[in-house]
Structure 1
Amino acid sequence: MPQKSVNKSDPSYQPKKTLSTIDAIAIIVGIVIGAGVFKTPSLVALNTSNDVLFLLAWLAGGGISLVGALSYAELCATYPHTGGDYHFLYRAYGRPVAFLFAWTRMVVIQTGSIALLAFIFGDYATQFYPIGPYSEGIYALAIVLILTFINILGLTFGATAQKLFTLLEVGGILLIIVVGLFFTPISETSLPPTKPAVSISGSLGMAMVFVLLTFGGWNEAAYISAELKKGARGMASALLWSILIITIVYLLVNYTYIRVLGHEQMASSDAVAADLMRYAWGENAAKFIGLLVAISALTSANATIITGARSNYALGQDFPFFKRLSQWNHQTSSPVKALIVQGLLATTLVLLGLMTRRGFETIVDYTAPVFWFFFLLVGAALFILRKKDPETPRPFKVPFYPILPAVFCVSSTFLLYSSLVYTGIGAVFGVFVLLVGFLVFIVLRR
């Protein structure tokens, strides 16, 4: 039998416009500026031959992200919807592609990101207060459950927590910048590098992979586009200001790393921020970085939980089997059942990570190719929807069309290729889950 979607005009299935532009900026910045900024700079340094190329790579990452944000701003302004990417894919390609995206996002991409960030939090929380042999996993489970509960209480609680976490996170990074620029002498490389920086030949592309992964996450703004008080203009402003803030922060913190540690020592470092603080103020300062990374992971996990549940909500609106996910609680202004399901799936992945630490690493591997595949499809959807809906009002249009959207698609293709090459066997598992989703769609359709 053909499926019938739920009644979307029913108030119990509709979100309210409760978010300000500042709330949206806090969510976007909180997602993007996560634990990656404390880990990837050394890998970027390893794949660039000098300081200029190193900093240009980060500037290029900001530029590419800005191009993508402009394309997303048009889609969000034209089709504001809590489903975000899911809604764009649905309009451009139809139910099968939209369902596959929602399926992989629910089972792999978003829940995997939540579990990954929870484990990062657990790793660093254990350094301060270990609670037994399974300390990391216990902390990870606790943070998934606590943050899910906070957001079940309501978007106001979740957004308030997000602004607090983002303030602590960005404040800590600014402290690193201030210490490195004004209270630390230029390093004479007090610790010899353990491995040399490689030539840019064949490696600059890999450097950009790490840079763009560190910039990743700003597209999550699409999932709150229907809840912004200022609508289309508010979303465009939130995206542009967020990318600008993130790019400035990344350039400053990476310049600080280079200034204090030097290029070769950066390339050989496994914890570049901790090394900087240790060089500046000693071991206690290095421990402080562990707390900062934990806060960063907490910030990103909370923002990921906020946006992830909203794509599950959109899935429930269009597919009766998942109808319960589309119920919106207006008292708390949140999709409670979608949050619960997401929390259970993320908890399952954390438990799998407890069984084998290799499973934790596999989560990182198999999420990347799937993510960039759908990212590319969303970029192409901008061209498709301009042709399909030429009469639809567009409060914001991407400038220099079609050049900028084409650049967005090319960069997404590059990241898809690079993530497939880099992840290896992990990508196979991600593709397998995608195929399972296709089979589920066929069964539900029948």
Structure 2
Amino acid sequence: MAKVSAAEGLTPKAMDMGGETSVKDNDSGEGVRLKKELSLLNGVAIIVGVIVGSGIFVSPSLALQYSGSKGMALIVWVLSGFLSMIGALCYAELGTMIPKSGGDYAYIGEAFGPLPAFLYLWVALFILVPTGNAITALTFAQNILQPLWPACPPPPVAVKLIAAVITCLLTLINCYNVKWVTRVQDSFTVAKILAFLVTFIASLWYLFSGHTENLENMMQGTNTEPGKLAIAFYTGLFSYSGWNYLNFVTEELKEPYKNLPRAICISMPVVTLVYALTNVAFFAVLTNDEILASEAVAVTFSEKILGVVAWIMPLFVAMCTFGSLNGAIYASSRLFFVGARNGHLPLAISLIDIRRLTPVPSLIFMCLVTLIVLLTSNLESLIVYVTSVEALFTLCSVAGLLWMRHKRPLLLRPIRVSLVLPFAFLIICTFVVICSCFTHTKEVGVGVAFIALGVPVYYIFIIWQHKLKSLQAACNAFNIMCSKLFMCLPENSKEL
């Protein structure tokens, strides 16, 4: 059994913000570390698996509601994929230039310093990650229970209970073994593609049967109000969220200089094509009123076209969301692990299981926050809330790319994108964020206020050197308790 010396204690080590971190296994004699176990295929599976989750089954009705027509909604979906692809290419340069786990946290810290990096971590910890995971878990629960209540929505209590159970189950898998996580991710990514093929083939059969009326006059009723179009883009971008998750686990990716950009360039066109074809399938079979009235468009689609086998669609949706939640838990736990390793979160969150080499405390802490967020149920507000805040920090990361070109022009850049891409991304995202302020002022305002709240938290708990001795003693006792409870040690520690 590993022991923690009280004299040695558990103290965070200062981490430099640049340079590649080599990842060794526990038998190498160089201490407890996360291992490089992710191949190119695993990377593609993580990106596709995380992106293709609850969004495509939740957002079509909202995108149509705010865009006004099927034609404009389809344009929104394609342009959202194109914008995400631009962002992903910018992140390919950032990820190979700064090959450290943590994604936006590492890039913002490298470009603008520790305070902006902490603010991203602060928002991700309490808004971005748990809310996104909660939405995915709730979508899984709704669809897995739908066949049991065919004539009405499942009871909210049952939905939340199943969502909580699946969150805990996937957290347990992530705690146990990284290889199990990648196997689950690879398997469910393949299942997702098959599910979307079934959807598209069924819609083609419907069209060839002579039912083309739902694709006529597709631009009729198009909304041109900038504020509403911005919200339509938010719902589309929410469905593509997760394209930067592979950047969270760069240190565990084999040959990151090659595999990170390759995984992005393979994954994003695949997801955009799948989303476009899926929306065409929905639009071909369902009328505008049917889509707008549906809380689960895929279920409404299956009930109309699949007949006695309509139960298979909720099962497909559950499979998609299961894989998405698995990938999100795996990738986002590394974000908080890196933040704690750098001293921006309690040290206990940066501890590594000495047997399985997984960040168990980080996973468990994230699970607890997600379970709390599961109590929230206003889906539309959650989507705008999450996407608006995430867009602000994505803008910071891409702006950091431009700043690093100026500040450190000689830094090694295995991938170097044209400056047109980050400038276009900044302009478009800024326009979308500003326009959304006019229609969902409350959600955007709350997000900005929560970001601002992180500033005093940073100075009080991170910078202030004269903290109460009782508080410092309590923190140290908590860290040691977690180390003993979970049999974990800080990174690079040796077993005694």
Q: In the alignment, does 2:394 pair up with 1:406?
A: no
In the aligned structure 1, how far is the partner of 2:388 from the partner of 2:69? Answer: 29
User: Where does residue 295 of structure 1 map in the other structure?
Assistant: 319
User: Where does residue 167 of structure 2 map in the other structure?
Assistant: 144
For the structure 1 residues 286 and 422, does the alpha-carbon distance in structure 2 shift closer, same or farther, using more than 3 Å as the test? farther
- Counterpart residue type for residue 349 of structure 2: L
Native 8 Å contact 2:333 2:359 kept in 1: yes
Within the candidate set 107, 110, 116, 1:91 is matched to 110
Alpha-carbon deviation of 1:151? 0.2
Within the candidate set 219, 242, 254, 2:267 is matched to 242
- Counterpart residue type for residue 388 of structure 1: K
SS at match of 2:327: helix
Native 8 Å contact 2:143 2:315 kept in 1: yes
Residues 100-149 of structure 1 show CA distances to partners (whole Å, capped at 9, x for unaligned) of 11111111110111122112222223324579772112111101110100
For the structure 1 residues 44 and 16, does the alpha-carbon distance in structure 2 shift closer, same or farther, using more than 3 Å as the test? same
For the structure 1 residues 163 and 422, does the alpha-carbon distance in structure 2 shift closer, same or farther, using more than 3 Å as the test? farther
In the aligned structure 2, how far is the partner of 1:387 from the partner of 1:323? Answer: 34
Native 8 Å contact 2:234 2:387 kept in 1: no
In the aligned structure 2, how far is the partner of 1:75 from the partner of 1:133? Answer: 42
In the aligned structure 2, how far is the partner of 1:261 from the partner of 1:139? Answer: 29
What pairs up with 1:112-191 in 2 under 5 angstroms? Answer: 112-129=131-148, 134-182=157-205, 185-187=209-211
User: Where does residue 43 of structure 2 map in the other structure?
Assistant: 24
User: Where does residue 316 of structure 1 map in the other structure?
Assistant: 340
For the structure 1 residues 168 and 418, does the alpha-carbon distance in structure 2 shift closer, same or farther, using more than 3 Å as the test? farther
Q: In the alignment, does 2:451 pair up with 1:434?
A: yes
In the aligned structure 2, how far is the partner of 1:232 from the partner of 1:114? Answer: 29
Q: In the alignment, does 2:61 pair up with 1:42?
A: yes
- Counterpart residue type for residue 359 of structure 2: P
Larger Rg: 2
For the structure 1 residues 97 and 160, does the alpha-carbon distance in structure 2 shift closer, same or farther, using more than 3 Å as the test? same
User: Where does residue 473 of structure 2 map in the other structure?
Assistant: none
User: Where does residue 18 of structure 2 map in the other structure?
Assistant: none
In the aligned structure 2, how far is the partner of 1:364 from the partner of 1:53? Answer: 20
Q: In the alignment, does 2:252 pair up with 1:233?
A: no
User: Where does residue 493 of structure 2 map in the other structure?
Assistant: none
In the aligned structure 1, how far is the partner of 2:405 from the partner of 2:54? Answer: 37
User: Where does residue 352 of structure 2 map in the other structure?
Assistant: 328
Runs of at least 5 residues in structure 1 that lack an aligned partner in the other structure: 191-195
SS at match of 1:140: helix
In the aligned structure 2, how far is the partner of 1:217 from the partner of 1:44? Answer: 19
Q: Which moved more, 1:373-382 or 1:251-260?
A: 251-260
- Counterpart residue type for residue 343 of structure 1: C
What pairs up with 1:232-311 in 2 under 5 angstroms? Answer: 232-261=257-286, 266=291, 269-282=294-307, 284-311=308-335
Within the candidate set 13, 27, 38, 1:6 is matched to 13
- Counterpart residue type for residue 168 of structure 2: L
User: Where does residue 81 of structure 1 map in the other structure?
Assistant: 100
Alpha-carbon deviation of 1:344? 1.4
Percent identity of paired positions between Structure 1 and Structure 2: 27
Native 8 Å contact 2:231 2:384 kept in 1: no
In the aligned structure 2, how far is the partner of 1:198 from the partner of 1:46? Answer: 10
Alpha-carbon deviation of 1:214? 1.8
- Counterpart residue type for residue 301 of structure 1: L
SS at match of 2:254: coil
Alpha-carbon deviation of 1:330? 6.2
Within the candidate set 355, 364, 383, 2:402 is matched to 383
For the structure 1 residues 179 and 385, does the alpha-carbon distance in structure 2 shift closer, same or farther, using more than 3 Å as the test? same
Residues 63-107 of structure 1 show CA distances to partners (whole Å, capped at 9, x for unaligned) of 212111110000001111111110001101111111111111111
Native 8 Å contact 1:372 1:415 kept in 2: no
For the structure 1 residues 239 and 422, does the alpha-carbon distance in structure 2 shift closer, same or farther, using more than 3 Å as the test? farther
SS at match of 2:35: coil
Alpha-carbon deviation of 1:375? 1.0
More helix by percentage = 1
Within the candidate set 194, 218, 221, 2:243 is matched to 218
Number of residue equivalences? 430
Residues 295-337 of structure 1 show CA distances to partners (whole Å, capped at 9, x for unaligned) of 2222221111111111101111111752222223464342111
Q: In the alignment, does 2:88 pair up with 1:65?
A: no
Q: In the alignment, does 2:445 pair up with 1:416?
A: no
SS at match of 1:39: helix
Native 8 Å contact 1:28 1:221 kept in 2: yes
- Counterpart residue type for residue 149 of structure 1: L
For the structure 1 residues 204 and 370, does the alpha-carbon distance in structure 2 shift closer, same or farther, using more than 3 Å as the test? closer
Alpha-carbon deviation of 1:188? 6.1
User: Where does residue 193 of structure 1 map in the other structure?
Assistant: none
* TM-score computed with the length of structure 1 as normaliser: 0.88
In the aligned structure 1, how far is the partner of 2:189 from the partner of 2:107? Answer: 28
For the structure 1 residues 421 and 322, does the alpha-carbon distance in structure 2 shift closer, same or farther, using more than 3 Å as the test? farther
Native 8 Å contact 2:237 2:387 kept in 1: no
User: Where does residue 442 of structure 2 map in the other structure?
Assistant: 425
For the structure 1 residues 366 and 252, does the alpha-carbon distance in structure 2 shift closer, same or farther, using more than 3 Å as the test? closer
For the structure 1 residues 377 and 16, does the alpha-carbon distance in structure 2 shift closer, same or farther, using more than 3 Å as the test? same
Native 8 Å contact 1:6 1:320 kept in 2: no
Native 8 Å contact 1:369 1:420 kept in 2: no
Q: Which moved more, 1:98-107 or 1:415-424?
A: 415-424
Native 8 Å contact 1:15 1:227 kept in 2: yes
SS at match of 1:439: helix
Native 8 Å contact 1:47 1:198 kept in 2: no
- Counterpart residue type for residue 96 of structure 2: A
Native 8 Å contact 2:32 2:357 kept in 1: no
For the structure 1 residues 367 and 95, does the alpha-carbon distance in structure 2 shift closer, same or farther, using more than 3 Å as the test? same
Task: Kindly report the root-mean-square deviation, in angstroms, between the aligned alpha carbons of the 2 structures.
Answer: 2.7
Alpha-carbon deviation of 1:187? 2.9
For the structure 1 residues 416 and 109, does the alpha-carbon distance in structure 2 shift closer, same or farther, using more than 3 Å as the test? same
For the structure 1 residues 367 and 251, does the alpha-carbon distance in structure 2 shift closer, same or farther, using more than 3 Å as the test? closer
- Counterpart residue type for residue 335 of structure 1: P
- Counterpart residue type for residue 266 of structure 2: W
In the aligned structure 1, how far is the partner of 2:199 from the partner of 2:460? Answer: 53
User: Where does residue 207 of structure 1 map in the other structure?
Assistant: 232
Native 8 Å contact 1:169 1:296 kept in 2: yes
Native 8 Å contact 2:69 2:222 kept in 1: no
- Counterpart residue type for residue 432 of structure 2: L
